[in-house]
Amino acid sequence: MWQSQSVIPFVVFLFGLCIGSFLNVCISRIPEDLSIVSPGSRCPRCMKEIRAYDNIPVLSWLILQGKCRNCGLPISVMYPLVELATGLLFLLTYYEYGLTISGLKWVFFASLMVVLIVTDWRVRLLPDAVNWFGFGAGLALATRISPGEGLAAVLEYRFGVEHFTPLMAAGIGLVEALLGAAVGSGFLWSAAWVYRAWKGHEGLGMGDVKMMALLGSFLGVRGVFLVLLGASLVGTVVGIGNLGVLYATGWKRGVAERAARRGLGGGSKLRWELAKRYHIPFGTFLGLAGLAVAYVWPWIELKFVVAR
């Protein structure tokens, strides 16, 4: 008994590390429209294939001190961090749901979020290949595990779960997922349309709208509202802080000074305008909020219920 309680979580964590290594491939290649299957991992400078013993998650990066064994090219710390984060999310899912279909659903969700969070942060892109694949997977999984506690909870309270046939339960889960996707993506699309009409330029990309459809298919209607609230609050705080840092550190100072010499305005005002146009990766905050709703919010609700 003691051995199984110790070994299974360790195996789950190692499996998560390995999945994290694969997610690194997705993060690096999908935005470039490259195959995630072949060729194998190789150094982008010397193009030498990375051997299996140099491709052990986290450990190889530490042993090689973050450099390619062949040419010494620095290897981004992103790689071990993604692997470690994925391993920890798998471990958290195991403790929350065990080896169940619910656990499978949420490790799948966590993996999608890791890819989108890091990709948007790195290259300001939320690939359709990830968003649409994740949306389809969310709908399929909703037929087994209903997202959120919206429609399913109302019907269970009204009629009792014992009256649900497997087909009815699958249909309810699918409708809940579709409603979540429609509400989340529709709300964000409307906000983007209003911003464009008001400001005359894009404020949100369609990638964010598609990502909300993915989130809604997993989290349901209530979940997407929590995601939007959390992402907006954190994004606003980070955006204002980032704006102040960019201005204070003289970001784009040379561009502003050249424009000022041409009579386009004062240097300080131009620097402020340039800093305001810095693109904040909102998809990153949506993903982080999605993970918080999936993993942290249930714990908060439980503590609140127990406290009452």
Tell me how far apart the alpha carbons of residues 84 and 304 are, in angstroms, rounded to a whole number.
30
Kindly report whether the peptide bond that precedes residue 39 is cis, defined as omega within 30 degrees of 0.
Answer: yes
What is the Cα–Cα distance from 249 to 90, expressed in whole angstroms?
39
Mean pLDDT, rounded, for 177-190: 92
**Mean local confidence (pLDDT), 90-97:** 94
Q: Which range has the top average pLDDT, 92-106, 164-178, 249-263?
A: 92-106
Query: Residue 1 pLDDT > 50, yes or no?
Result: no
Question: pLDDT at residue 127 above 90?
Answer: yes
| Per-residue pLDDT reduced to its tens digit, 260-281 | 666 656 656 655 565 556 567 8
How far the first Cα of the chain sits from its last, in Å, is 35
The CA distance from 307 to 287, in Å, is 29
CA distance linking residue 116 with residue 82, whole number of Å = 12
Are 234 and 241 spatial neighbours (Cβ–Cβ below 8 Å)?
Answer: no
HEC string for the chain: CHHHHHHHHHHHHHHHHHHHHHHHHHHHHHHHCCCCCCCCCECCCCCCECCHHHCCCCHHHHHCCCECCCCCCECCCHHHHHHHHHHHHHHHHHHHHCCCHHHHHHHHHHHHHHHHHHHHHHHCCCCHHHHHHHHHHHHHHHCCCCCCCCHHHHHHHHHCHHHCCHHHHHHHHHHHHHHHHHHHHHHHHHHHHHHHHHHCCCCCCHHHHHHHHHHHHHHHHHHHHHHHHHHHHHHHHHHHHHHHHHHHCCCCHHHHHHHHHCCCCCHHHHHHHHHHCCCCCHHHHHHHHHHHHHHHHHHHHHHHHHHC
Percent of the chain with pLDDT over 70: 75
How far is it, in rounded angstroms, from Cα 75 to Cα 44? 10
Measured CA to CA, the distance from residue 54 to residue 34 in angstroms comes to: 22
pLDDT of residue 133: 96
151-158 mean pLDDT = 55
Residue 130 has pLDDT above 90, yes or no: yes
Instruction: Tell me if 93 sits within 8 A of 107, measured CB to CB.
Output: yes
| Mean per-residue pLDDT, 122-137 | 95
> In DSSP terms, which residues pair with 74 in a beta bridge?
67
CA dist 3 → 8, 88, 104, 262, 294 (Å) = 8, 20, 23, 73, 29
- Per-residue pLDDT tens for 192-249? 888 777 766 666 778 999 999 999 999 998 899 999 999 989 888 877 776 666 666 6
Of these ranges, 2-6, 51-55, 81-85, 192-196, the one predicted with the greatest mean pLDDT is: 81-85
Give me the mean pLDDT over the 128-150 stretch. 88
Every domain of the chain and the residues it spans? 1-99, 125-308
CA dist 241 and 9 (Å) reads 39
Bridge-partner residues for 67, per DSSP? 74
Query: What average pLDDT does the chain have?
Result: 83
The confidence score (pLDDT) of residue 55 equals: 87
Q: How confident is the model at residue 252 (pLDDT cuts 50, 70, 90)?
A: low
pLDDT computed for residue 297 by the predictor: 84
Rounded alpha-carbon distances, angstroms, from residue 165 to 42, 156, 179: 51, 12, 21
Spatial CB neighbours of 63, under 8 Å, sequence gap ≥ 6: none
**Could you tell me the pLDDT band of residue 42, with boundaries at 50, 70 and 90?**
confident
57: tokens are: 């998650």
Q: Which residue has the higher pLDDT, 66 or 22?
A: 22
The answer, yes or no, to whether residue 2 has pLDDT greater than 80, is no
Of 80-84, 180-184, 223-227, 300-304, minimum mean pLDDT range? 300-304
Measure the CA–CA gap between 196 and 269, rounded to whole angstroms.
Answer: 23
